[in-house]
């Protein structure tokens, strides 16, 4: 759980994650932190960000407001080094130093699958996203998406209808739901032990530039990303770019290849993204089987490097967060 010092550091503008972590390490107590000037911070990080000068006391007042709003709305604040912070997010280039969460606990030991796409899909796209969400939920695989209209909502709904776990990553503070028409869906996510997640503090409005930024979290949380319908200017393509940068598996749903207006998804397929039609296809590609069938490979030293490579190529071994998982039955 983040303390007030963490929140103060998170409110200093224009710093990278590494710079915030450096400040947290050098100034673990509020007294020394609040004595810093903007010039002091620029000296420590070795650069001068293009921002107007700021006051540490203003940052502290903002941190107090955030802490009070989080307590009022039963929002958990997760600091980068907390045990509950998703370890896969620490791998990405610019991880959020603070996360705000509401709902159940993060299933960080399980591979997650992201399902995203256009806000204006056709009927086939909506059905496909819904079936992917439902199919993954039946196999115990957490589904990540962005709670936007269209494909995101369909994927979340499929999971909720099967009483599975889904994580909605928002582009605003999680004390409100955007769009408002998805309030009922958000309630269903929480009712089924799902999670509303954001790097933006309570009170942050759904500003346009927040959404591309949050897309790196959607892909960062996930082992694989599936694009279901995306025109050339779809925000889902930003998520696809982040997925490739982060070394995530990238797939395109087959419905995108025959539907008009999905040039973005079609281009991804031409560029080498895998084509899937169902949750079974995704799990076949990734070798995950289902959450219930994965076993930790306790003694990898018992296997030769060529054995491990062969198992990975055939899909019976998955490397996730530095731990090798083996599909049930692969060792028998």
The predicted-structure confidence for 222-248, as pLDDT tens digits, reads as follows 999 999 999 999 999 999 999 999 999
pLDDT at 330 (0 to 100): 44
Buried b (16+ CB within 10 A) or exposed e, 202-223: bebeeeeebbeebbbbbbbbbb
Indicate the SS3 state at residue 278. Answer: coil
Tell which residue, 253, 294, 295, has the closest CA to residue 273.
Answer: 253
Higher-confidence residue of 124 and 110: namely: 124
Confidence at 320, pLDDT banded by 50, 70, 90: very low
pLDDT at 167 (0 to 100): 98
87-99 pLDDT, tens digit each: 999 999 999 999 9
Confidence at 54, pLDDT banded by 50, 70, 90: confident
**Angle 223-225-230 from CA coordinates, rounded to 5°:** 175
pLDDT at 244 (0 to 100): 97
The token pair that represents 155 in the structure block: 């994927």
Q: H helices within 117-245, ranges in order?
A: 123-138, 151-161, 183-191, 210-220, 236-245
* Residues 6 or more apart whose Cβ sits within 8 Å of residue 3: 79
16-30, 155-169, 235-249, 290-304, range with the lowest pLDDT: 290-304
pLDDT at 284 (0 to 100): 85
Higher-confidence residue of 278 and 3: namely: 278
Buried b (16+ CB within 10 A) or exposed e, 71-86: eeeebbbbbbeeeebb
Strand 143-145 to strand 195-198: parallel, antiparallel, or no bridges (unpaired)?
A: unpaired
**What torsion do the CA atoms of 13, 17, 23, 29 make, to the nearest 10 degrees?**
90
pLDDT at 52 (0 to 100): 73
Q: What does the alpha-carbon distance between residue 55 and residue 60 come to, in Å, rounded to a whole number?
A: 9
Maximum alpha-carbon separation in the chain = 64
191-206 pLDDT, tens digit each: 999 999 999 999 999 9
Q: Are 265 and 252 in contact (CB under 8 A)?
A: yes
Q: Is 52 exposed, middle or buried (0-12, 13-18, 19+ CB in 10 A)?
A: exposed
Whether residue 332 is predicted with pLDDT greater than 90 in this model: the reply is no
- Percentage of residues in the chain with pLDDT exceeding 70? 86
Whether residue 166 is predicted with pLDDT greater than 90 in this model: the reply is yes
Q: What does the alpha-carbon distance between residue 234 and residue 241 come to, in Å, rounded to a whole number?
A: 12
Alpha-carbon torsion (161, 167, 170, 176), positive or negative: positive
Residues 197-226 have a mean pLDDT of 97
Confidence at 324, pLDDT banded by 50, 70, 90: very low
Higher-confidence residue of 330 and 107: namely: 107
Q: What does the alpha-carbon distance between residue 304 and residue 315 come to, in Å, rounded to a whole number?
A: 17
The token pair that represents 55 in the structure block: 């006051």
Confidence at 329, pLDDT banded by 50, 70, 90: very low
Higher-confidence residue of 72 and 260: namely: 72
User: Position of tokens 């769009």?
Assistant: 179
Higher-confidence residue of 30 and 127: namely: 127
Buried b (16+ CB within 10 A) or exposed e, 225-252: bbbbbbbeebbbbbbbbbbbebebbbbb
289-299 pLDDT, tens digit each: 554 444 444 45
């Amino acid at each position: 759980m983040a303390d007030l010092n963490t929140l103060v550091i998170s409110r200093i503008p224009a710093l990278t994650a590494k710079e915030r972590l450096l400040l947290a390490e050098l100034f673990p107590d509020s007294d020394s932190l609040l004595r810093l000037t903007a010039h002091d911070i620029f000296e420590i990080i070795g650069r001068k960000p293009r921002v107007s000068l700021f006051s540490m006391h203003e940052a502290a007042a903002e941190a107090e407001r955030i802490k009070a709003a989080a307590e009022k709305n039963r929002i958990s604040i997760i600091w980068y080094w907390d045990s509950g912070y998703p370890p896969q997010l620490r791998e990405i280039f610019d991880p959020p130093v603070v996360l705000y969460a509401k709902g159940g606990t993060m299933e960080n030991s399980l591979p997650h699958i992201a399902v995203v796409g256009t806000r204006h899909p056709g009927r086939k796209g909506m059905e496909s996203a819904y079936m992917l969400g439902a199919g993954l939920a039946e196999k115990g695989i957490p589904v990540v998406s962005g709670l936007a209209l269209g494909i995101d909502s369909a994927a979340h709904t499929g999971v909720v209808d099967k009483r599975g776990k889904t994580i909605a990553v928002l582009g605003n503070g999680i004390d409100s739901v955007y769009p408002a028409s998805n309030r009922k869906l958000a309630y269903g996510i929480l009712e089924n032990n799902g999670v509303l997640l954001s790097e933006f503090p309570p009170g942050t409005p759904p500003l346009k530039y927040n959404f591309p930024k949050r897309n790196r979290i959607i892909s960062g949380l996930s082992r694989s990303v599936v694009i279901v319908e995306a025109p050339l200017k779809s925000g889902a393509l930003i998520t696809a770019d982040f997925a490739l940068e982060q070394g995530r598996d990238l797939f395109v749903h087959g419905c995108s290849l025959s539907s008009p207006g999905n040039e973005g998804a079609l281009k991804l397929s031409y560029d080498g993204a895998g084509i899937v039609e169902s949750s079974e296809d995704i799990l076949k590609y990734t070798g995950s089987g289902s959450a219930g069938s994965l076993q930790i490979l306790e003694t990898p030293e018992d296997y030769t490097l060529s054995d491990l490579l062969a198992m990975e190529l055939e899909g019976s071994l998955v490397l996730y967060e530095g731990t090798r998982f083996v599909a049930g039955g692969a060792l028998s």
